[in-house]
Structure 1
Amino acid sequence: MTKHTPFPRIAFIGTGAQGASIAADFTLAGLDVTFIDQWPAHVEAMRANGLTVNMPTRQLHTPVKALHLCEIAEIKEPFDLVFMVVKAYDTRWAAEMIKPVLAEHGFVVGLQNGMTQEAIAEIVGKHRTIGAVIEIASNMWEPGITTRQNDTDESWFALGALDPEQQPRVEEVANILRHSGTVEVVEDIHSAKWMKLVVNAAELIPSAIIDTALNDAARQPEFLEVMRKAGYEAMDAALADGATVMPIIGMPPVMSNHPERFVDEIFDEVLRTFSREDTLTTSLQDWRKGRRAEVDEVNGLVVDILEAKGKAAPMNRKVVEMAKEIEAGKRVLSPANSDELVAHYRGLVQ
């Protein structure tokens, strides 16, 4: 990406619910975009019929250039910019696959949950890694069709380079990403990523365990306390890992630096601005599709960070335990699971 390449070659590795809609915005803006995905039926549907993006008040449709994962090895001209939108647990293999076709001056942007930016950097180099925060609600159940519940005026991103010497170039990437939403360039992407993980720890797996929409879970007063407790522990882990409290997702500057109050503020903002009545977390979508969720990469990371510091994360540990039972087929997805989580919370606060 230089003055000689104002419209760089762009790839998305992972074009599911989130990646597909963002890549579609880029395509419709006239950018050179290649969609790369691991779901064969999805790739074939996009090749045959293009991509359809259902928005709250409009529908987008565009032909796209789509490749199967195995076709990465056939790419001759490297990409200047790669947006990685795969699950956090797929980060390392995806980075290894894209590394041979990433331009030396290029970037990989990790539009993912979890603290994936360090894993990307270990493989492609810090000088070619941009960490990112993403806040969009989306779902995909059929190949070639994605539903995005937040239009571009409600979609929010943050970007920051891992190598301070590359930070001046991030604005160029932000300008491209602004085709899909509001983008803030931040100096401290480590902290921004942690602030998002804090709210993910509260929302994603806990509400998925009780097999319900996020808003419905948050309306249950005692279960809301379960979710908040998971978020409070995640904030403890963030601070233990060197993060600082900072506003994200378009929130105003923090009036108070009280960590637990800030968790409440982030959680409330997500529910108010980004969540619809039928919004299912990505984790529940994964489970309903028979796939594993980002358990170790979110709630499990909270447990690991705090244990390494000699501290405990009992709410997150319980969430991880129940989630692993669901994934092992030893527990059924059910609203009845809330009773056990609430009882565990009560035991912690007595």
Structure 2
Amino acid sequence: MTWNKEGGPRIAFVGTGAQGASIGADFALAGLDVTFIEQWPEHVMAIRENGITVNLPTRTINVKVPALHLCQVAEIREPFDLVFLIVKAYDTKWACQLIEPCLAPDGLVVGLQNGMTHDDIAAIVGRERTIGAVIEIASNMFVPGVTNRQNDHDTSWFALGALDPKTQERVESVAELLRNPGTVEVTDDIRSAKWMKLVVNAAELIPSAIPNLPLADAARAPGMLEVMREAGYEAMRAALADGAKVVPIIGMPPVTTNHPDRYVDQIFEEVLKTFSQSDTLTTSLQDWRKGRRAEVQEVNGWVVDTLRKHGQSAPVNQRVMDVAFEIEKGKLQARPENSKLLIEAYEAVADRQ
């Protein structure tokens, strides 16, 4: 692919929190033309004054990057060839509407997000300008201008795939850029890959946030590993009911088992082993600790709604949703004692099996 701009594409990162900022910093260090577009005013100011700092497991990097606040998007005159969208799944539609006037006619939007956001992106910018993506990186940000990334390049993983077959030939050019921060696989079935990531997200994100524990601690808590696996099993059933295939993600070998539940276990084990540390907090727990809502409906709710459409139920994911919404309403606090609320739902399922 030949970019319109001599020397490479003009790139925007829309959403430069923990994930977006660390990936964008790698792009900037590679000499690419990158602009950050962000909704946190203090973060924008910190980047302008001190650059973006990324603390990695064994090193720290800092780089200067142009940073714009959302209110400055209307001032953009030169369109972007490539936009990496790294906002919460529930912010996808408005973020795409915001940036679409600044996207080149043949520009592409890459949704580096949790959830099945690719269709929302396509509804705004068009399927021919949409690239779906899967991301596996653990990071956190609590101080403006500073992100803490727990995966260096060797354990950062992405998958990319176009929605429109005519766009698929352009994906490799985007993948080559994204290899600056990690390993990238190109797939012609991004929908199935995103479902596989949603399967593991359903198991880990909210279930570990409800007891207010790091992911590894939640998985070790009595009864919780069974809860988390069952949430993943339900998500896998939803994926298959929706027409997705069981495909390898996060660098795992080709699928050799005909047992979908066993593959859920394998994905979950790989995330715990390779892509998280002892103190890793899921993005959902970070959201709650910041007073923000998490992607409950977009992950566990997606499982519940999908299975309902096919005449099936997802009792564990439903219970995860119910408890999570009680926490977000302030009627419950996220704390270890909440584990029993989820374990009760799992035990009711186990008794029926």
TM-score tier, shorter chain, comes to over 0.9
The CA deviation string for residues 143-191 of structure 1, in whole angstroms up to 9 with x for no partner, is 0000000001110000000000110110000000000100000000000
Cα displacement (A) at 1:305: 0.4
Cα displacement (A) at 1:220: 2.2
For 2:222 and 2:168, how far apart are their aligned partners in 1? Answer: 43
The CA deviation string for residues 37-85 of structure 1, in whole angstroms up to 9 with x for no partner, is 0000000110011110000000000111000001110000000000000
1:14 aligns with 2:15: yes
The CA deviation string for residues 292-346 of structure 1, in whole angstroms up to 9 with x for no partner, is 0000000000000000111000000000000000000011111000011112211
The CA deviation string for residues 190-233 of structure 1, in whole angstroms up to 9 with x for no partner, is 00000000000000000000000000011124110000000000
Cα displacement (A) at 1:3: 5.3
1:234 aligns with 2:235: yes
Provide the secondary structure at the position in 1 that maps to 2:132. strand
Could you tell me whether the CA contact under 8 Å between 1:18 and 1:85 is conserved in 2?
yes
For 1:257 and 1:217, how far apart are their aligned partners in 2? Answer: 28
For 1:183 and 1:347, how far apart are their aligned partners in 2? Answer: 41
For 1:34 and 1:93, how far apart are their aligned partners in 2? Answer: 19
Moved over 6 A (4+): none
Identity of aligned residues (%): 69
Provide the secondary structure at the position in 1 that maps to 2:296. coil
For 1:290 and 1:3, how far apart are their aligned partners in 2? Answer: 41
For 1:344 and 1:303, how far apart are their aligned partners in 2? Answer: 14
Q: Which residue of the partner structure matches residue 181 of structure 2?
A: 180
For 1:200 and 1:324, how far apart are their aligned partners in 2? Answer: 17
1:278 aligns with 2:294: no
Q: Which residue of the partner structure matches residue 300 of structure 2?
A: 299
For 2:97 and 2:317, how far apart are their aligned partners in 1? Answer: 31
Paired residues, number: 350
Provide the secondary structure at the position in 2 that maps to 1:80. strand
Alignment-mate amino acid for residue 104 of structure 2 = A
Alignment-mate amino acid for residue 235 of structure 1 = M
For 1:257 and 1:192, how far apart are their aligned partners in 2? Answer: 17
What pairs with 1:203-222 in structure 2 (closer than 5 Å)? 203-222=204-223
What pairs with 1:156-175 in structure 2 (closer than 5 Å)? 156-175=157-176
Cα displacement (A) at 1:258: 1.1
Cα displacement (A) at 1:21: 0.3
The CA RMSD measured in Å over matched residues stands at: 0.8
The CA deviation string for residues 11-45 of structure 1, in whole angstroms up to 9 with x for no partner, is 00000000000000000000000000000000011
Q: Which residue of the partner structure matches residue 2 of structure 1?
A: 2
Cα displacement (A) at 1:255: 1.6
Provide the secondary structure at the position in 1 that maps to 2:155. coil
Q: Which residue of the partner structure matches residue 155 of structure 1?
A: 156
The CA deviation string for residues 87-126 of structure 1, in whole angstroms up to 9 with x for no partner, is 0000000000000000011100000000000000000000
Could you tell me whether the CA contact under 8 Å between 1:229 and 1:315 is conserved in 2?
yes
Between 1:318-327 and 1:212-221, the stretch displaced more is: 212-221
Alignment-mate amino acid for residue 67 of structure 2 = A
1:33 aligns with 2:34: yes
Q: Which residue of the partner structure matches residue 101 of structure 1?
A: 102
Q: Which residue of the partner structure matches residue 193 of structure 1?
A: 194
Alignment-mate amino acid for residue 280 of structure 2 = T
Instruction: Using structure 1 for the length normalisation, give the TM-score.
Output: 0.99
Provide the secondary structure at the position in 2 that maps to 1:296. helix
For 2:112 and 2:41, how far apart are their aligned partners in 1? Answer: 22
Alignment-mate amino acid for residue 2 of structure 1 = T
Alignment-mate amino acid for residue 183 of structure 2 = T
* Structure 1: 5+ residue stretches without partners: none
1:323 aligns with 2:346: no
Could you tell me whether the CA contact under 8 Å between 1:35 and 1:64 is conserved in 2?
yes
Alignment-mate amino acid for residue 348 of structure 2 = G
For 1:249 and 1:284, how far apart are their aligned partners in 2? Answer: 22
Provide the secondary structure at the position in 1 that maps to 2:124. helix
What pairs with 1:19-168 in structure 2 (closer than 5 Å)? 19-168=20-169
Could you tell me whether the CA contact under 8 Å between 1:245 and 1:257 is conserved in 2?
no
Alignment-mate amino acid for residue 179 of structure 2 = R
Instruction: Using structure 2 for the length normalisation, give the TM-score.
Output: 0.98
For 1:340 and 1:129, how far apart are their aligned partners in 2? Answer: 40
For 1:102 and 1:64, how far apart are their aligned partners in 2? Answer: 20
Could you tell me whether the CA contact under 8 Å between 2:248 and 2:254 is conserved in 1?
yes
